[in-house]
Amino acid sequence: MSEEPMLSTHALTAGYGDFQALFGVDFEVRAGEVVALIGANGAGKSTLLRSILGLLSVARDMVRFRGESVGGSKPHAMVRNGIGIVPEGRRLFAGMSIEDNLRVAIDYGRKPQRGENVASLWTIERIYKLFPILRERRDQVVHNLSGGQQQMVAIGRALLTQPMVLLCDEISLGLAPKVIHEIYDVLPMIRQAGTALVLVEQDVSLAQRASDRLYCMLEGRITLTGDSNTMTREAIAEAYFGANHAVA
Ligand SMILES: Nc1ncnc2c1ncn2[C@@H]1O[C@H](COP(=O)(O)OP(=O)(O)OP(=O)(O)O)[C@@H](O)[C@H]1O
């Protein structure tokens, strides 16, 4: 694998004021890959996503996207460049309808490149094909939807910014297992459409099943990385909890 990854971080450090939350994080996603990022509460997963997206201040050369150093660019510029986000807590416009929430994203997204196949772009119609329940309820106010349906809107909205890589921050959080499966079942279709995925996930088995590669973080550092399907539970437990943790 000699080609440069689509998105990468290089010895990335970041924090909040005097508090350092990330310590030299090297992370990469290649075109078409699904990469999971796991770790306990407070490990630094959301901070890594925020740093990539420009919500926290980082040095320019700490983040590279499609061959350019982009660290510290403004979040809206990152989105226009092709990095999408499904944020923790969804951050939808609760008083607006499903369709209006989806529409808002279109103006803020990546513009198609010259020569890009327009048919491959995400449209509201394609989002409704992905999640038919959203079509049925398209005029309903988001506030009245279930948590799972709101998460579908959040994913749809992010896709309508035409991301080349989509960062998903704990999309299963607080949802019933059946709903989690419904949402995870569409991820292969998103990937097939050409969008790479980064899945921040608390559920380790789910993360492992859904991804090609997996990173584990502990206290602001990457403690394990490798192919998801060959990683042992013991290696993951040690990376997740620290070397002193006794594996059952
Ligand atoms: N806005 C903030 N101000 C100060 N410290 C913060 C802030 N957000 C996160 N932190 C701290 O940064 C560290 C990393 O937090 P982060 O939210 O990135 O972890 P996480 O792995 O995403 O955990 P979670 O699963 O709980 O979201 C933690 O010590 C956390 O307390």
Tell me the average pLDDT across 135-160: 91
Distance CA 196, CA 200 (A): 13
Q: What is the pLDDT of residues 99-135, one digit of tens each?
A: 999 998 887 778 877 777 777 789 999 999 999 999 9
Q: Which atom of ligand 1 is nearest to the CA of 17?
A: 4
Q: What is the per-residue pLDDT for 245?
A: 59
Question: Distance from the CA of 55 to the center of ligand 1, in angstroms?
Answer: 13
> Model confidence at 223, in pLDDT bands (50, 70, 90)?
very high
Task: Cite the DSSP H helix spans in the chain.
Answer: 45-53, 75-81, 98-108, 124-130, 132-136, 147-159, 177-192, 204-210, 233-241
Predicted TM-score (pTM) of this structure:
0.92
Q: What is the per-residue pLDDT for 194?
A: 86
> Model confidence at 2, in pLDDT bands (50, 70, 90)?
low
Question: Distance from the CA of 246 to the center of ligand 1, in angstroms?
Answer: 25
Tell me the average pLDDT across 42-64: 96
Note the CATH number of domain 7-241.
3.40.50.300
Q: What is the per-residue pLDDT for 88?
A: 80
pLDDT beyond 80 at 214: yes
Domain ranges of the chain: 7-241
Ligand 1: residues with CB < 6 A are: 16, 19, 21, 39, 41-47
